[in-house]
Amino acid sequence: MSTPHRKPWIIRLLLLGSAATAAFGQCSSTCAPDAKQASGAVYRVCMPQPSCFNGNLVIYAHGYVDEFQPVGIPEDQLEFPDGSSVPKLINGLGFAFATTSYSRNGLAVLEGVRDIRDLVNIYTARHGAPQGVYLVGPSEGGLVTAKSMETYPNIYAGGVAACGPVGDFRAQINYIGNFRVLLDYFFPGTIPGNPVDIPKSVINGWNTVFEPRLRQAVRNRPNAAAELIRVAGVSTLAPADIEDAIVKVAWYSVFATNDARRQLGGQPFDNIGHLYLGSSNDLLLNLFVRRVAADPAAIAAMRQYETSGMLANPLVTLHTTADPIIPYWHEWWYRWKVESSRSSGLHINIPIVRYGHCQFNSAEALISFLLVLLQVAGRPVPQTARPLSADIPVLMSAPSVAPF
């Protein structure tokens, strides 16, 4: 698909993309040994060869890692689904690359914001002050990126927040909680425990016992599974996605619930007064589904995790439209925030019509980053992804891009 008359900014984007593609692979990447920050976080810095270095730094904010993993850089998150290396891609474009494990796993948004700011200081002490610092991050790292951009506009020149809960953190907590109470309603007894307290036996036996049990239950009762995702608002693109979506959202309920309760100082999920719709018998569902009230301390603590939408520098948000874990509606909420704060001129959202969480390829990520660079350079670009819908597929060979 193409348009007969491309806008001047599209031509510039194509030329810049061609130059970046030519540079990638010609610049070598060398990573220094991992070291520790004062917080206990592990950090890594990778540099391009001196002849390629453009003086700028890109920091990668990683996504969620469950609390039971040792603190360390999540290597699996340093690759795109297509197998491309994130550090090599960044270094191949002439940018320095740095990342941090954060000082803890689990719910670590606030720690991520602090550790990334500290990482800028560490990099500066060893390599000199960068000309510009850019942030990129997926999932939980998307929220870390957005919060960092809003909090420290004097440090970060621009950022890409991919598939993050940037719209409403409390709504994300309730999304996972609502899913769990509905799972217990439609598939009672399949997963022991409840939506606010997960037994250690379930966590320890997830891979061997409870995930296989849940998959079998979904296969045995496909109609109940379809009702579950419809009422819970879990996004899929095809019936074949349903089992995968249920299992993946259930994983977050199992592995994130207890940690979130501890980090937030109380039980954060609340469905008192929530009306569930879309089942074969909504009256019965709303009468018998489990009801839970959030603790006031947790409600207050969650305010620290909310974005404001107040931007001083460019931010691109990238999100698959059928994301079962962090729904696309976060993008609509965040757009409303930036509009309300009169920052809309600094925000671009790129929706990718695809099922899955953070299922982006390196080309899509590159386009998002190039849009940030164009804005920082003062080049004219669209403030939503609408004008991109006809031209990005040509550049990326990805006809899944849709308008905002």
* CATH number of residue 69's parent domain: 3.40.50.1820
Query: Would you say the C-alpha torsion 98, 103, 109, 115 has a positive or negative sign?
Result: negative
Range of the domain at 200: 169-301
Regarding whether 390 and 332 lie in a shared domain, the answer is: yes
- Separation of alpha carbons 302 and 267, rounded Å: 11
How far apart (Å, rounded) are the C-alpha atoms in residues 4 and 121?
Answer: 48
Query: Which residues contact residue 364 at a Cβ distance below 8 angstroms, ignoring those fewer than 6 apart?
Result: 318, 350, 352, 396, 398, 401
Q: In what helix (H) or strand (E) does residue 351 lie, and over which residues does it extend?
A: strand 347-355
Tell whether 241 and 315 lie within a shared domain: no
**CA–CA distance, 219 with 194 (Å, rounded to integer):** 22
**Distance of alpha carbon 344 from the chain centroid:** 20
Is the domain of 296 the same as that of 322?
Answer: no
Q: What 3-state DSSP class applies to 318?
A: strand
- 137 and 216 in a single domain? The answer is no
Residues 37 and 56 in one domain: yes
For residue 397, the model assigns a pLDDT of 26
Residues 338 and 284 in one domain: no
pLDDT (0 to 100) of residue 81: 80
Residue 319 and residue 340 in one domain: yes
Residue 232: partners with Cβ closer than 8 Å, 6 or more residues away: 175, 178, 179, 182, 249
Q: Can you read off the two tokens belonging to residue 111?
A: 């720690």
Tell me, yes or no, whether 272 and 213 share the same domain. Answer: yes
Which of 270, 301, 332 is the last residue before a domain boundary?
301
Q: Is residue 401 part of a domain?
A: no
Nearest to 172 by CA among 285, 67, 306, 297: 306
pLDDT of residue 13: 47
Q: Let me know if residue 1 belongs to a domain.
A: no
Which segments of the chain have a pLDDT < 50?
1-15, 17-18, 21-23, 384-404
* Assigned domain for 404 exists: no
276 and 326 share one domain: no
Q: What's the structural domain count of the chain?
A: 2
Output the pLDDT for position 379.
82
- 212 with 348, same domain? no
